[in-house]
Structure 1
C-alpha cells in the first residue's frame, strides 16, 4: 500500500528511527507541514549539529533530534594535544610508514590543504552536552555514531561525483572517538543510533566492553543497530546477551542484502524498529512504508487501515507493535 493510501491517523504513529533530512538540502516549512510521521534526524559532524537542532526546535512534535559525530568524520577529531594540523592527519593516514607510496604522498599533499583544523575530543563532547542541554525536554538521542572499517576518506565529501583518497580511518581512532561519546550517552541516559559496517567482531567486543565497564548504567540506555548489516546469527546472539540492543532496518541499505528477511525474522519482535535512512524528508514516509510492509509480511502482522484506540495485544498490527517498540527504546 503506497503512503498516499495510508490514513493520517495511522501514519501519525509511524516513527522513522534514522534519517538525514538536513544533509541534502534545506528542509522547507512546506515539507515539514506535509510530513505525517515522526522522524529521528541524525547529525554527523560539526557542521550539521546546529541544523538538526534548529529543525527540531522548529518542529518539536515531528522531529526527534540526534546529536553525534559519525565515524566517516572521526579523522576531524583529535584525541590528544594537536601539535599541528599536518602532523595530526599525517599520523592518521600515513602513520609510521617511513616510505609511503607515491600515490599516498600525492593524495595526502592534496588532501591536507582541503581539511580543516582538527577539533579536540573535549570540544566534541562539550558541543554534544550543549545541544543535549538545549533540548533536554525532548527525547534526544546520540547519533549517528559508530564504526566503519572500509570507508575511504574523500577529497571533498560534498562533491558530486565524490573522488576518494586511498586513506581509511584507523579503527583504533574510531573506537576511541566512539567510546568517548558512548560514555557521555551513559552519563546523560541517551539512547544511541549505532553505525557498524564490515566490523562485526569489533562491534561485538565494544558492546561487551561497555556492558562490563558501565554495568547497570549501560543497561538503562538503548542501542539501535541502525540499518544493521551483520550476519543474522551474530545479531541473534548479540541481542540475546544484551537486552538493551534493538535493530532498525531500511530498504535503502538493507534492501541490497539477501539477509534482510532473515534479519527481520530473527530479531525479537519487541526489539525491532524501522527507518528510512534517507536524506530527503519528502521521501522518508514512502521509504518507511516500504520496510513496514515487508516487516508485516515476514512477521505475519496485519497492516492497520484505521487507528483504533483500544485493542487487545493479539489484535495489534505492525504500526502499533513498532510504536510500542519505539517507546521502549527511547524511554530506556
Structure 2
C-alpha cells in the first residue's frame, strides 16, 4: 500500500482538510495503486523501463537476485563514502554501455551493451554524497582542519544548555571531521573512470534536505532515552535471534535534535554540481522540505554556467521532491533540463501527489522505485508507471491494446518493440516536410514508450 502522508516531510504541502471537494473529485481514478497486488505485465514490457533512482547496494544481495530483475535498467545511487566502491563493482559486473562503446570490447556487452554478459538489467553507476551525512565533512583543508569539538559546535550552534550538554555527551562517539575535498577528488576519479570505461554514469544521490538531522551515533545507543526499552523489545525479537546482535544494531536508528544547516549542505552540493558540469554527467537530485533553496541552487548553476549546465547535463528531481504542482511548473519554466521521477514510497506521501504528477510535462517524466530491495524493483516501478498513466490519462501497454498488438482474441498478447527504433518512428510521424512539429489532436500517449523515450533522452542516448 502507499505510504501515508507525513506533514512534517513537506512544510509547504496543504493538509487534507484544505483540499476542496472539486480537487478531491478531480483526483478520482488517479489514486496511487496498491503496488503489492498489482498484476505485472509481460517481461518484455518491463524491459523497456528504467528505475531512475534506487539503492541496491544498501543490501548484500545475491547475484541471482539481479538475474531475476525484468526492468531494462537500474540507476544505482551512492550516498556515503563506503557506497562508492559497491556501486562501481555492481556497474562493472552489469554495465550499461554508452552507445558509442557498444562492440568496442569494453565491458562484456557486445550486442545491446547492457547487463551481465549482455543479458539482463543494466546498471547506471551513480556516485555522490547525500545531504543527510554532510555534517561529517568540513570545508576546511589541511592544515586547518578543526577539532571535533570546534567542528560540531560551530556547525550545529546549539543554543539551549540542554542541547549543548547533549552534544558534549555525544562528541566522543562522533567521527572526526573529514575534509570534503578529499571525497571530491575521489568522486572526480570515480566519475572519470566510469566514463572512460564507456559506462552510463551519473552524479547521485546529492541535494538538499530541510529536515536533515544528525543521527544518534550507534556507539552511543546506550545513552539514548529509549535504549533500555528498545533492548527489552529486541531481546525476544526474531531478527535478533536469527541474524545476531550486529544486524539488530544496524536496524537501530534514532535522530538527534541537531539539524544540518542549509548553508553547509549547499556548499557541499555546489562542489558536486560543479563537478557534474565539468564532466558532463547527469544528476539525481534530492530535495526534501526545501523547494525554494533547491530551485535557487539549480538556477544559480544555470546563471553560473549557462548552456554548459542547461544543454550539457540533465537533472532528475528524485521522487518529484514532494513539490507542489504550481512550484513544479515554475521550476519547469526556469530549467529546460529538469526532469522528475515519481515513486510509490515517497511521492505518495503528499496529498497533492496526483496533481503534481499530472503537472509534469510529458517529455520531463521519468519513473523510479527509491528502493534498496532489488526483489521489489519490478513491482514498484510498474506501479509507479501505472499511477502515472492514471494521473496523465495515458494509455498503458499491457493494460490497453496498442495498434501494433496482435489482432486476435488473446488480450494478453502484447507486441514487442525495439525502443530506439520505435522512438525514431514516432519522431518521424510528428515532423512534417518543413521540419516542423505537427500537432495531432487527441493523440494517444503510451506510458511505457514515453517513459522509455524520456529516459533515453535524459541520458542523451537519443536526441
Q: Normalising by the residue count of structure 1, what TM-score does the alignment of the two structures yield?
A: 0.93
Give the SS at the match of 2:304: helix
How many residues align structurally?
327
> Within the alignment, does 1:13 sit opposite 2:142 as a pair?
no
> 1:148 corresponds to which residue?
209
Looking at structure 1, the residues matched to 293 and 131 of structure 2 have their Cα atoms a distance apart, in angstroms, of 14
> Within the alignment, does 1:297 sit opposite 2:426 as a pair?
no
Indicate which of 180, 193, 202 corresponds to 1:134: 193
> 1:223 corresponds to which residue?
315
Looking at structure 1, the residues matched to 201 and 189 of structure 2 have their Cα atoms a distance apart, in angstroms, of 12
> 1:106 corresponds to which residue?
165
Root mean square deviation of aligned Cα: 1.9
Deviation, 1:316, is 5.4
CA contact (8 A) 2:203 2:282 kept: yes
Structure of larger gyration radius: 2
> 2:351 corresponds to which residue?
258
> 1:26 corresponds to which residue?
60
Looking at structure 1, the residues matched to 39 and 293 of structure 2 have their Cα atoms a distance apart, in angstroms, of 42
Looking at structure 1, the residues matched to 336 and 281 of structure 2 have their Cα atoms a distance apart, in angstroms, of 16
> 2:86 corresponds to which residue?
51
Deviation, 1:3, is 6.9
Bigger mean CA offset, 136-145 vs 154-163: 154-163
CA contact (8 A) 1:3 1:285 kept: no
Bigger mean CA offset, 102-111 vs 283-292: 102-111
Looking at structure 1, the residues matched to 287 and 126 of structure 2 have their Cα atoms a distance apart, in angstroms, of 17
Looking at structure 2, the residues matched to 8 and 163 of structure 1 have their Cα atoms a distance apart, in angstroms, of 40
Give the SS at the match of 1:16: strand
Looking at structure 2, the residues matched to 148 and 205 of structure 1 have their Cα atoms a distance apart, in angstroms, of 14
Looking at structure 2, the residues matched to 103 and 327 of structure 1 have their Cα atoms a distance apart, in angstroms, of 52
Deviations 1:6-38 (A, max 9, x none): 212111111000011112x20210101101111
Superposition map of 1:35-46 within 5 A:
35-37=69-71, 38-46=73-81
Looking at structure 2, the residues matched to 3 and 58 of structure 1 have their Cα atoms a distance apart, in angstroms, of 31
Deviations 1:85-142 (A, max 9, x none): 2211221122xx6xx4233123213432222232212112111112112211111100
Give the SS at the match of 1:135: helix
Greater strand proportion: 1
Q: Normalising by the residue count of structure 2, what TM-score does the alignment of the two structures yield?
A: 0.67
> 1:73 corresponds to which residue?
133
Looking at structure 1, the residues matched to 85 and 329 of structure 2 have their Cα atoms a distance apart, in angstroms, of 36
Looking at structure 1, the residues matched to 150 and 341 of structure 2 have their Cα atoms a distance apart, in angstroms, of 39
> 2:17 corresponds to which residue?
none
Deviations 1:169-207 (A, max 9, x none): 010000000000000000000100111111111112112
CA contact (8 A) 1:107 1:166 kept: no
CA contact (8 A) 1:152 1:166 kept: yes
Looking at structure 1, the residues matched to 322 and 55 of structure 2 have their Cα atoms a distance apart, in angstroms, of 19
Deviation, 1:315, is 5.8
Looking at structure 2, the residues matched to 232 and 316 of structure 1 have their Cα atoms a distance apart, in angstroms, of 21
Give the SS at the match of 2:370: coil
> Within the alignment, does 1:235 sit opposite 2:296 as a pair?
no
Looking at structure 2, the residues matched to 31 and 110 of structure 1 have their Cα atoms a distance apart, in angstroms, of 43
Deviations 1:251-292 (A, max 9, x none): 110112111111111111000111001111111111111110
Looking at structure 2, the residues matched to 277 and 92 of structure 1 have their Cα atoms a distance apart, in angstroms, of 29
Deviations 1:224-268 (A, max 9, x none): 111121111011011112110001110110112111111111111
Looking at structure 1, the residues matched to 255 and 146 of structure 2 have their Cα atoms a distance apart, in angstroms, of 27
Looking at structure 2, the residues matched to 160 and 105 of structure 1 have their Cα atoms a distance apart, in angstroms, of 27
CA contact (8 A) 2:40 2:379 kept: no
Q: Which ranges in structure 2 are unaligned for 5 or more consecutive residues?
A: 1-34, 96-114, 116-121, 219-248, 399-413, 427-442
Looking at structure 1, the residues matched to 39 and 88 of structure 2 have their Cα atoms a distance apart, in angstroms, of 29
Looking at structure 1, the residues matched to 294 and 314 of structure 2 have their Cα atoms a distance apart, in angstroms, of 15
Give the SS at the match of 1:82: coil
Q: Which ranges in structure 1 are unaligned for 5 or more consecutive residues?
A: none
> Within the alignment, does 1:212 sit opposite 2:271 as a pair?
no
